[in-house]
Amino acid sequence: MVAPLVPDSALHASLLFAVGQGKRPTEPAPELDSEMVEAVSTMLSNQGSAHLIPQVQEALQAGAQSLQRDPELTISAKRYAEIRNEFIAAHHIRSSKGKQIWPVGATTILKRAGGSWNEALRTAGFSTSKHQVPQGFGSAKFSPEQFAAAMRSFTSDAARGNYSTKLQHYVEWRKHLLKRGRTDIPSGPAIRNFYGSWSAALESTTAGDTAQEG
Q: Do residues 57 and 110 share a domain?
A: yes
Q: Which domain holds residue 112?
A: 8-123
Which of 142, 139, 197, 199 minimizes the C-alpha distance to 174?
142
Residues 19 and 78 in one domain: yes
Predicted local confidence at residue 129, as pLDDT: 55
Residue 206 has a pLDDT of: 67
Q: Does 213 reside within a domain?
A: no
Total domains present in the chain: 2
- Residue 22 falls within a domain, yes or no? yes
40-49, 65-74, 179-188 — most confident range: 40-49
CB-based contact 71:127 (threshold 8 Å) = yes
Q: Which of 28-37, 184-193, 203-212 has the lowest mean pLDDT?
A: 203-212
Contact of 48 with 133, CB cutoff 8 Å = no
pLDDT attached to residue 156: 93
